[in-house]
Amino acid sequence: MDARELRHARRAARQQLGATRTAAGRDAPWRRRWRMARRAVGSTLVGWFAPLALRLLAWTWRVQRIGEPGLAAMRGEGPLVIALWHGRMLVPMPLRPHKGRGIGVLVSPSDDGALVTKALRSFGYTVIRGSVSRGGASAMREMVEALHAGCPVAVTPDGPRGPRHTVNSGAAWLARETRAPIVSVAIAVDRAWALRSWDHFTIPKPFARIVVTYGEPLRVPPDANDLALEAFSCLLRDHLLLGERKGFARLQVPGDLDAS
């Protein structure tokens, strides 16, 4: 496949996911109204209680960090593109070396993104609102400016709507434009709540064991063409999946990579 065909394949997969949701009745008008009401209440509750609850939960977690080159890049100074799955974004939020550094995080302009925004800001992150379909160009410009200023940015390459574990070329494009390395952050948890969402959003339970695997930094040449960006995106996907498999193996639990 060439770069255009790969993009079309991702778009077709997103459309199929939407068609599946509709066929299952999850986009029925009453369900949409219920979700809007739930989010309105949830926004208030999240703003007040979620950061405190997450701090308390994180205090009980037992965290291992592996992948020395990637971890060294995370702990260093200078621009960095951090990539993690959409369903794992909550886990590193209260952890070192992520929190309190002003890392720019791309967050969907959806209602769900508004809920995440409040928690991110409470842990010292900079929020950049946008997605592939809404505000994408301005969000990419903001991230490029942040990277040129030496600030790391974090992206979820399968977000905001999936399908799960797909990787768009945004991270590779950012790395090419700014010459910042990409570091994958793979999360494995032995005990967690998983929401009934497309990304199986993960919330580790009290006293959960967590393995955070930092991938080898990837550097994208400044002359990389569209096909090369897609190749680096596939490599990034491999880093994320391999990192999670290593983490689950270390925890000696099956993992949820094949959950549907």
Spatial CA neighbour of 197 closest among 249, 171, 231, 162:
162
Residue 224 has pLDDT above 80, yes or no: yes
Q: Range of 74's domain?
A: 3-251
What is the predicted pLDDT for the residue at 80?
97
The total of structural domains in the chain comes to: 1
Using one digit for the tens of pLDDT, what is the confidence trace for 50-97? 888 899 999 999 999 999 999 999 999 999 999 999 999 999 999 999
In a domain, 164, yes or no: yes
Strand partners, 83: 155, 184
Distance CA 193, CA 63 (A): 17
Count CA atoms within 13 Å of residue 105 on its CB side.
32
Query: Which residues fall within 8 angstroms of residue 14, CB to CB, at 6 or more apart?
Result: 161, 162, 163
CB 130 within 8 A of CB 123: no
Task: Please state, in angstroms and as integers, the Cα–Cα distance from residue 18 to each residue in 8, 26, 214, following that order.
Answer: 15, 10, 32
In a domain, 224, yes or no: yes
What is the predicted pLDDT for the residue at 133?
58
Residue 232 has pLDDT above 90, yes or no: yes
85 backbone dihedrals φ, ψ, rounded to 5°: -70, 145
Distance CA 84, CA 177 (A): 20
In a domain, 256, yes or no: no
Percentage of the chain beyond pLDDT 70 is 78
171 backbone dihedrals φ, ψ, rounded to 5°: -65, -45
In a domain, 260, yes or no: no
In a domain, 88, yes or no: yes
3-state secondary structure of 154: strand
Q: Which of 30-44, 66-80, 222-236 has the lowest mean pLDDT?
A: 30-44
Token representation of residue 215: 């991938």
What is the predicted pLDDT for the residue at 226?
93
Query: Which residues fall within 8 angstroms of residue 40, CB to CB, at 6 or more apart?
Result: none
Strand partners, 202: 194
Spatial CA neighbour of 154 closest among 135, 134, 182, 173:
182
Using one digit for the tens of pLDDT, what is the confidence trace for 115-161? 678 789 999 999 998 765 565 788 899 999 999 999 999 999 997 87
In a domain, 259, yes or no: no
Distance CA 160, CA 162 (A): 6
Residue 213 has pLDDT above 60, yes or no: yes
The mean pLDDT value for 4-26 works out to: 62
